[in-house]
């Protein structure tokens, strides 16, 4: 499913089936995407705001999901423990890059991006392929009771907030996507924890010294 290529970028075999698609999840060794002229990013604010790149590049303001269907342009999100998601509609040749930390996940940012793709590109959720990239794993993501309460509906273990609890952010995003009608066989999850794996920047591990990884998708 996910594998690391010779440029230290993680790619998804199922997405490589689309020869018109550019995609990759960067590591700490591979931020060369950043020098790409035709790249759109956002000032990420842990919101549920979805922005249409619509042929623009550069930083397009505040938000946490970027949509695009213009050939030659890439959209990207930056993460260091938060979950990056790349969405591909092969029928309408449209894509989205999504940044989902716990706040964005609580606000269902991934589902909002799917809904916006439906509106803008006539995307059918059942046609989407979604790659949930490397982020902090349940192994390392210990959370307090206020955060646990946000996700009690997804995981009964989170209801008992008297004990330390661990959140599986990638899994909650997977559930939210399935709830919107994305086919579960087309949701691909990286089995990688950014805090455990030294290939990645990790905000929890490296604190203010943490860099950011770039995750990129676009139509060639
Ligand atoms: Zn871990």
Please report, for the chain, the start and end positions of each structural domain, with discontinuous segments joined by +: 2-219
What's the confidence (pLDDT) of residue 217? 97
- Average pLDDT by consecutive 10-residue portion of the chain (220 residues)? 94 97 93 70 96 96 98 96 98 98 98 98 98 97 92 86 86 98 98 95 91 94
What's the confidence (pLDDT) of residue 33? 60
Tell how far the Cα of 84 is from the centroid of ligand 1, in angstroms.
Answer: 16
Tell how far the Cα of 167 is from the centroid of ligand 1, in angstroms.
Answer: 11
The DSSP letter of residue 200 is S
- The CATH T-level fold of domain 2-219 is 3.60.140
Tell how far the Cα of 205 is from the centroid of ligand 1, in angstroms.
Answer: 10
Residue with the two structure tokens 């269907």: 69
What's the confidence (pLDDT) of residue 8? 92
Tell how far the Cα of 140 is from the centroid of ligand 1, in angstroms.
Answer: 4
Tell how far the Cα of 206 is from the centroid of ligand 1, in angstroms.
Answer: 13
Q: How far apart, in Å, are the Cα atoms of 71 and each of 20, 91, 141, 201? A: 9, 14, 37, 30
Burial of residue 59, with CB atoms counted within 10 A of its CB: 0-12 exposed, 13-18 middle, 19 or more buried: exposed
Residue with the two structure tokens 């449209």: 94
Among candidates 62, 55, 63, which has minimal Cα distance to 38?
A: 55
CA 81 to chain centroid: 11
Tell how far the Cα of 124 is from the centroid of ligand 1, in angstroms.
Answer: 34
Beta bridge partners of 12: 2
For the question of whether the overall pTM of this predicted structure is more than 0.85, the answer is yes
Residues in the chain: 220
Q: Which residues contact 146 (CB under 8 A, 6 or more apart)?
A: none
What's the confidence (pLDDT) of residue 162? 73
What's the confidence (pLDDT) of residue 16? 97
């Amino acid at each position: 499913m996910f594998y690391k290529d010779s440029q230290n970028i993680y790619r998804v075999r199922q997405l490589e089936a689309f020869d018109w698609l550019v995609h990759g999840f960067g590591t700490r060794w591979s931020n060369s995407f950043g020098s790409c002229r035709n790249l759109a990013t956002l000032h990420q604010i842990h919101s549920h705001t979805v922005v249409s790149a619509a042929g623009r590049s550069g930083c397009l303001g505040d938000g946490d999901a970027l949509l695009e269907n213009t050939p030659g342009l890439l959209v990207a999100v930056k993460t260091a423990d938060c979950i990056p998601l790349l969405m591909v509609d092969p029928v309408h040749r449209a894509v989205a890059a999504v940044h989902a930390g716990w706040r964005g996940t609580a606000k269902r940012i991934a589902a909002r991006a799917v809904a916006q793709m439906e509106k803008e590109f006539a995307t059918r959720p059942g046609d989407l392929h979604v790659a949930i990239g490397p982020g902090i794993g349940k192994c390392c993501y210990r959370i307090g009771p206020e955060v646990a309460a946000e996700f009690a509906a997804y995981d009964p273990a989170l209801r008992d907030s008297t004990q330390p609890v661990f959140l599986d952010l990638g899994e909650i995003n997977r559930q939210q996507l399935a709830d919107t009608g994305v086919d579960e066989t087309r949701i691909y999850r990286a089995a990688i924890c950014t805090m455990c794996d030294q290939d990645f920047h990790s905000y929890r591990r490296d604190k203010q010294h943490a860099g950011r990884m770039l995750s990129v998708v676009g139509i060639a």
